[in-house]
Amino acid sequence: MSLLSAARSLAAGDWPVFGGDAGGSQYSPLVQVNAANVRDLERVWEYRTGDSTLQRPDAVPGSFLATPVLYEGTLYFCSGYSRAFAIDAVTGKERWVFDSKPDMQDGTAKCRGVALWHDDERSTGGAACTSRVFMGTLDGRLAAIDRLTGRACDDFGENGFIDLRQGAGEVRRNELVMTSPPVIYRDLVIQGAKVRDNQRADAAPGVIRAWDARSGELRWAFDPVPAGSPSPQALGAPPGQRYHQGTPNAWSIFSVDEARGLVFIPFGSPGLDFVGGHRNAGGVDRNRYANAVVALRAATGELVWHFQTVHNDLWDYDLASQPLLLDIEQNGESIPALIQATKMGFLFVLNRETGEPIYRVEERAVPQTAIPGETSAATQPFPTFPRPLHPLGLDEDDAWGFTFYDRNACREKIRAARNDGMYTPPALDRYSIQYPGVAGGQNWGGLAYDPQRNLLVMPQNHVVTYNKLVRKESVAFLPEGDYTGGYSPNEGTPFYISHEILLSPFGVPCIAPPWGTLMAVSLDSGEKHWEVPLGTPRDMVPGMSWFPWFPTMGFPSAGGALLTGSGLAFIGAALDNYLRAFDVHSGAELWRARLPAGGQATPMTYRADDGRQYIVIAAGGHAYMRTTPGDSLVAYALPAP
């Protein structure tokens, strides 16, 4: 299915790709469910994937974060244990299940979605695999599945799979995983992958690759180091290694502009997140494309432009959200634009043909590292439109607590730390304040765009991270080789890193709520249109359960918003088990429904064959956020006529 066909499909009431369209708008023009009748929504079916009951003693904890796609009356999606599903869009009845049988003893059990491809050259005749579902796995493979039968496409790669470790040199067990769906450009399947954070300086390569959708043949690869860098073999790599290790990776969702033949890649930081003195080892600049939006020729992988949002990242400020593609009116001219949300609460608005900022971006001086052998950038880029959406640091007067005791304890923690405002680098043998924290600001939930109202809607986290570097000789290891104190190994550097959330003695954040919000930003004014707390403590893990009531205080979230043509914003994402609907005009909550588990996924919507508009969300929880686990896909609709 071409992207043009996908755009027409969305206009007809489908949801053909992860973000609704190839530019990630997370918007549907459907209006059947509106502000007047949204309170009448009812649960019409619930599908259980069975992941919760898998009898696998070796399985890592799973998260169900998928956003389904819809094609010809069928929903396609994946679960955290790398299983793909096809179910009827009206009834939720299962059509097939595909199990990739991954190695699950270590790694990340997440899958945010799948991608569909249709073979126009073989669209008739009933041949197998003329329409395919592509899914990444938690053990570093790319699978091709027959969309109609749920069987592996044996003509793709090796028996339907490509091993993404090929050409990567030494890759440790489940170090390289695919947590987000690939994107499709014509007959190419383009993918990135997540590389486990903070393990080693020479971590698995962050290469971006395009595969032939029919055969699985490698068509191009973008190794994120500057042209002319010493080859891996010049650095002592074995002959079969084609890509540089320790480079930035792109684990989130890509965007595609088919008309211009461009694919846009949101990169993270290289190798290790909180130390950077090793990043130019061997004369290879591993920072060049780190934390940058990179535009490539989709047909060839040729670099077109890149824009870096953080220089020499020491804060895990990787680009977690899908680049949003839209057109912006400026001085009577329509400009093809890209908006990149960041964990810093910044929105960078770029010309997607050139990568140049459409509005002024200022390079401002920032604090510097005091650690010998470490490096930090002298300046960082700050957008001026929209203005930063998150506070740029905090001081001891921002300390908060329920009593004088915990407030003073928080104040002492802040006072004792290195705290020079935003971009305070990690300190040695002393904590430093990082605000926004490693989860943002914005995270992978991304931006939703309402073209009728020219509004962006997004969740945002307000959590302080407390970081500390220590010299390795000062930390004792347990006999089995694990490390104490919550430190990450950081192999290849002299330091371990400890990073934690800044909490009071009562286990609550040291700053005043809300700790998570939903906001709308006007692209006409560049200002917040509204901002409201998102989430209650109702389903919090022990430690927060002593709340005697369930106020809407606002809690951290994971997942994004869905917007509809009727002016509604649907979102789960928060730590409680609810799906909510908000008025896009005012931010007022209009409806909420209990979910069977945590809804840390982005919902989607479609018009089914019975004429009704459905809203669907995965409710299976997020293992790292310790939300209620489960394995349900839940659909809501208005009562049948």
Active-site residue numbers? 316
- Paired with 255 in beta bridges are 264
Give the closest residue to 322 by CA, choosing from 10, 600, 561.
561
Give the closest residue to 454 by CA, choosing from 511, 386, 500.
386
Which residues lie closer than 8 Å to 522 by C-beta, 6 or more apart? 454, 455, 528, 529
* Distance between first and last Cα of the chain: 33
**SS3 state of residue 423:** coil
For residue 226, give Cα distances in angstroms to 12, 290, 304, 625: 43, 11, 13, 37
Which residues lie closer than 8 Å to 531 by C-beta, 6 or more apart? 517, 518, 519, 520, 587
Q: Are 579 and 570 in contact (CB under 8 A)?
A: yes
Give the closest residue to 285 by CA, choosing from 227, 241, 237, 240.
227
Phi, psi at 9, each rounded to 5°:
-65, -40
Length of the chain: 641
The pair of structure tokens assigned to 178 is: 């695919």
Please report the DSSP string for 491-545 in residue order: BTSSEEEEEEE-B-TTSSBSBPSPSEEEEEEETTTSSEEEEEE---STTPPTTST
Alpha carbons 340 and 573: distance in angstroms, whole number: 20
Alpha carbons 251 and 268: distance in angstroms, whole number: 8
Give the closest residue to 203 by CA, choosing from 260, 148, 243, 247.
247
Alpha carbons 498 and 379: distance in angstroms, whole number: 25
- Asked if the peptide bond before residue 236 counts as cis, ω within 30 degrees of 0, the response is no
Q: Are 3 and 536 in contact (CB under 8 A)?
A: no
The pair of structure tokens assigned to 633 is: 């896909």
Mark residue 167 as left, alpha or beta (left: phi above 0; alpha: psi -120 to 50; beta: remaining): left
CA triplet 318, 321, 324: central angle to 5 degrees?
130
Name the helix (H) or strand (E) containing 404.
helix 404-416
Residue pointed to by tokens 């290289």: 270
The pair of structure tokens assigned to 301 is: 């992988």
Q: Are 593 and 619 in contact (CB under 8 A)?
A: no
Strand order in the sheet with 218-222: 183-185, 188-191, 208-212, 218-222
For residue 519, give Cα distances in angstroms to 156, 204, 593, 617, 625: 43, 37, 20, 20, 22
Give the closest residue to 47 by CA, choosing from 79, 80, 94.
94
